[in-house]
Structure 1
């Protein structure tokens, strides 16, 4: 049945299926692995993998396993919300790290998920389930709450009405509670997410604005929940977010206290 469905897919769909077969859990795949995960016949998978390898989107190692190629990295560098944003933000993220020596993160929204595009980790910082490229539901993280709070009202309502996955007993799963949390983020200019993904971590996040004033990303610091000093962390995170925003061309009104 899967093969019949695969045959009906267009050539671009099949190419994208091959690329989508790779993820953080499957960074290296055999040809049969690509075939299985992409839902393609072995012959089709071989033909498409060969074409992608010739172009540079895939690379093949000495053992015959395929990996994502550097050509895709070169293209990703052109994404305004990817490497370009990371380059602008990195000095401010490093300053935030030096001030806290805790995990520092930069993230953007992709649909109903937050995608982490930079992460600086402290040697003795609290362990987190985050890496560059990782995705989490918006409601479960500090950066996600910031990005959700600054989405359109229609988007927020649609998200709140949908299923809210729980990762710990403390994860926000009640729509009314989530709406109140989003309102508090907009009021204070920062989000505090405590024990939402793991029970030992607390995140403080703030919005990053582009030249047009729209929130395009969020920056956060993740610390041990037990000894988190939130009043001291909020100004530090907001200062980093403001610095990145200004570097992106944002010029706030003198009365604007939202970042």
Structure 2
């Protein structure tokens, strides 16, 4: 006779609460945290309060919660993504200076695009991207690059989960998405217009390691109304190739899986420009 399942330990409950933020959404209210963590409201309230007291979570004045600075500091020591970010930042800064548009770096994690770094300017188009959060692969430029070069089971998982519309031009038809990914592989870059956010367009290119495996995606995000994305393509692909050379020469943190399953909290967003 099988033993009855043991109730989750306190440590398991705490990990479930912290992992709730890995599903996307920089700020969550208590009900959302408990729903994602699978915890009763009373239990979640008590544990979240303790995490706030310890600095692992922060309570925002509007009553929502976000990752705390103490957890950011601990997570920032993770070597895999940190090494990639350190290599990428000089190229991202050069790219920002050349374009003054949002510059983003993302890796594949659990079937979503995990944003590990972003540079934004005071005049850049507002976007939903937050460093350390995840967004759908099928609705973002970096996501389409990562999905185009990912194993087939990753695409099947995305399709099985459903293509939920996020903006006016989000691709929701599986065959249309397959054709879009084929264009990415053929062209070597991805273009999106009003797919994740109305008014925002992106162009993204792959970052490869020494074996030619796509380990990340680099993108520019600009205003749909005024942006000439084809004009932004040359500086972007130049930066992506330069970063790929650095990754091939200096990055020794292991295969892409170490990025895809790394922690979701080791990042601090940077603001470019004066």
Give yes or no for TM over 0.5: yes
Q: How does 1:154-165 map to 2 (within 5 A)?
A: 154-165=153-164
Q: Separation in 2 of the partners of 1:158 and 1:247? A: 31
Q: Separation in 1 of the partners of 2:184 and 2:231? A: 17
In the TM superposition, residue 45 of structure 1 has moved relative to its aligned partner by 6.6
Say if 1:206 and 1:219, in contact at 8 Å, map to a contact too.
yes
Larger radius of gyration, structure 1 or 2? 1
Gaps of 5+ in 2: 251-274
Say if 2:106 and 2:114, in contact at 8 Å, map to a contact too.
yes
SS at match of 1:120: strand
Q: Separation in 1 of the partners of 2:33 and 2:157? A: 35
In the TM superposition, residue 123 of structure 1 has moved relative to its aligned partner by 1.6
Q: Separation in 2 of the partners of 1:115 and 1:205? A: 14
Gaps of 5+ in 1: 1-5, 252-259
Alpha-carbon distance change, 193 to 80 in structure 1, aligned in 2, over 3 angstroms: farther
Q: Taking structure 1 as the reference length, what is the TM-score of the superposition?
A: 0.78
Q: Separation in 2 of the partners of 1:156 and 1:179? A: 9
Say if 2:189 and 2:204, in contact at 8 Å, map to a contact too.
yes
Q: Separation in 2 of the partners of 1:105 and 1:128? A: 11
SS at match of 2:242: helix
Q: Separation in 1 of the partners of 2:212 and 2:57? A: 40
Match of 2:270 in 1: none
Match of 2:56 in 1: 58
Highest relative contact order (Cα 8 Å, sep 6+), 1 or 2?
A: 2
Alpha-carbon distance change, 60 to 181 in structure 1, aligned in 2, over 3 angstroms: closer
Q: Separation in 2 of the partners of 1:33 and 1:46? A: 15
Alpha-carbon RMSD? 3.3
Q: How does 1:141-156 map to 2 (within 5 A)?
A: 141-156=140-155
Q: Separation in 1 of the partners of 2:41 and 2:245? A: 50
Alpha-carbon distance change, 60 to 140 in structure 1, aligned in 2, over 3 angstroms: closer
After TM superposition, the structure 1 stretch with the greater mean CA deviation from structure 2, 90-99 or 220-229, is 220-229
Q: Taking structure 2 as the reference length, what is the TM-score of the superposition?
A: 0.74
Say if 2:201 and 2:221, in contact at 8 Å, map to a contact too.
yes
Q: Separation in 2 of the partners of 1:58 and 1:72? A: 5
Match of 2:127 in 1: 128
Deviations 1:166-191 (A, max 9, x none): 01231111111111111111111110
Q: How many residues are treated as equivalent by the alignment?
A: 239
Q: Separation in 2 of the partners of 1:13 and 1:207? A: 36
Q: Separation in 2 of the partners of 1:79 and 1:9? A: 26
Alpha-carbon distance change, 81 to 217 in structure 1, aligned in 2, over 3 angstroms: farther
Alpha-carbon distance change, 8 to 153 in structure 1, aligned in 2, over 3 angstroms: same
1:212 equivalent to 2:176? Answer: no
Match of 1:195 in 2: 194
